[in-house]
Structure 1
Amino acid sequence: MKTIAIIPARGGSKRLPNKNKLLLGGIPLIAHSIVYAQENSDIINEIYVSTDDEDIKKIALHYGVKVIDRPEELAGDFEPTVSALRHVLQSIEGTIENVILLQPTNPLREANLLEQAFNKFQTQNYDSLFTVTRNHQKLGKIENNQFIPFNYTIGQRSQDLEPLYYENGLLYISKVNLILENIIISKQAFPFEVKRNFACVDIDSQADLDYAEYLYNKGSQTHTAFGMEQSS
């Protein structure tokens, strides 16, 4: 029974063109997720990149991982990620038990994050797990030109807010049967909390990429590992 990693990487991107191929720390963005998976070979048996882009395919092959050519109909702006995962599973042979989804737009993962999360996933026998981070902002909505607080009352201190969490996208682990049913996160999924500041990085704009570069360089200087060896 195998555990595989799938890295979905479309060529198209509206807000930040070619973002999966842009450099972060001197290597293509998608390469960070590939290297991270390779460094967790005690957990991950095989690594697949799903893409519709020839340049991304060349990058993936250069790093020695397998590529599944994604059909055009599964590479649109509104196509859910799970359809790419399902296509990979339907394109390969062998008995697979678990799928680890690594999104290339969330490249800054602590070196031991997957080990800790996968151990929780296995020992507690969850069918899925995803990473979350606590939100510390005062949120609300605007209706009829009025601001209506959502998670606080006006004047309340931020440290007294009710804990709310957001899905940070760093990693997902799911049983294969869920993916085949078009589900990544089940109702019983375990929310694995990540408290580090890099958890908020989700690259969708140049500002996001610049911030990721800042954190990456800061991590290099302080010897904080982001899934690959940092220079001394």
Structure 2
Amino acid sequence: MNKKKTIAIIPARGGSKRLPGKNIKLLGDLPLLVHSIRYAQQHEFIDAVYVSTDDAAIKNVTLTYGAKVVDRPENLSGDFEPTVSALKHVLEVVGAGVENVILLQVTNPLRPDTLLKQAFLKYKEGEYDSLFTVTRNHQKFGKIANDKFIPFNYEIGQRSQDLEPLYYENGLLYITKASVILQNEIITKEAFPLEVNHPFADVDIDTQEDFDYAEFLLNKTNN
């Protein structure tokens, strides 16, 4: 009987408008995309690493660093196309035999070394259909209505350390069953939220300022 595979998928479109060439822009000594490729390649339980792209330069970088390319069709490469459509397309190209998919986003290039191993173990032991990483929020949020600020998660005067715990999806990694993706989902209602409180969780690159912050953290970590 054939072994059910665990694969990593890294969606990487071309044509970033806010930060042109973002996905192959050098972060440290490596193109941004390659940080996620190498992170996946470090884990023996990942059978293959796929990059879904519509861009020739991204494709060349992917192949140079030993990952596989799935050419993303134009109709799945628009600005408003959901990530799940790219994942589903990769599964359709790869074919049967994939059980688990690990989604690594290019825009979250820095991850704690042991995070994925811990997350995958939790995912397997708990027999979850999906798992994603979250970080606790320590900010005081509110809404503005009729020129008035209405606190959302606290009362005026309340200390930050006494806030009711709220969490945000940090994008560091996602693990899910291939069968879930084929139903057009990544995170199900039963997904396990794995808490990660680490400076890397604050990195999500969309602008030059985001890139500069990632570079600062990378240099600090390396030194």
TM-score normalised per structure 1: 0.94
Structure 1 residue identity aligned to 2:14: G
Within the candidate set 197, 206, 216, 2:218 is matched to 216
Structure 2: distance between partners of 1:93 and 1:137: 44
Structure 2: distance between partners of 1:216 and 1:161: 31
What does residue range 7-156 of structure 1 map to in structure 2 within 5 Å? 7-40=10-43, 42-156=44-158
**SS of the residue 1:216 aligns to:** helix
* Residue deviations 1:12-49 (CA, integer Å, cap 9, x gap): 21211111111101210000000001011x11001100
1:189 maps to which residue? 191
- Percent identity, aligned pairs only, is 68
**SS of the residue 1:134 aligns to:** strand
**SS of the residue 2:206 aligns to:** coil
1:173 maps to which residue? 175
Aligned residues: 220
Divergent runs of 4+, >6 A: none
1:226 maps to which residue? none
Note the C-alpha offset of 1:115.
0.3
1:225 maps to which residue? none
Within the candidate set 197, 200, 223, 1:198 is matched to 200
Within the candidate set 4, 8, 15, 1:5 is matched to 8
Structure 2: distance between partners of 1:190 and 1:118: 11
Structure 1: distance between partners of 2:18 and 2:168: 22
Note the C-alpha offset of 1:93.
2.9
RMSD between superposed Cα atoms in Å: 0.7
Note the C-alpha offset of 1:94.
3.9
Structure 1: distance between partners of 2:29 and 2:49: 22
Structure 1 residue identity aligned to 2:94: I
* Residue deviations 1:70-99 (CA, integer Å, cap 9, x gap): 011101110000000000000113401000
TM-score normalised per structure 2: 0.97
* Residue deviations 1:131-166 (CA, integer Å, cap 9, x gap): 000010000111111111110011111010000000
Structure 1 residue identity aligned to 2:175: I
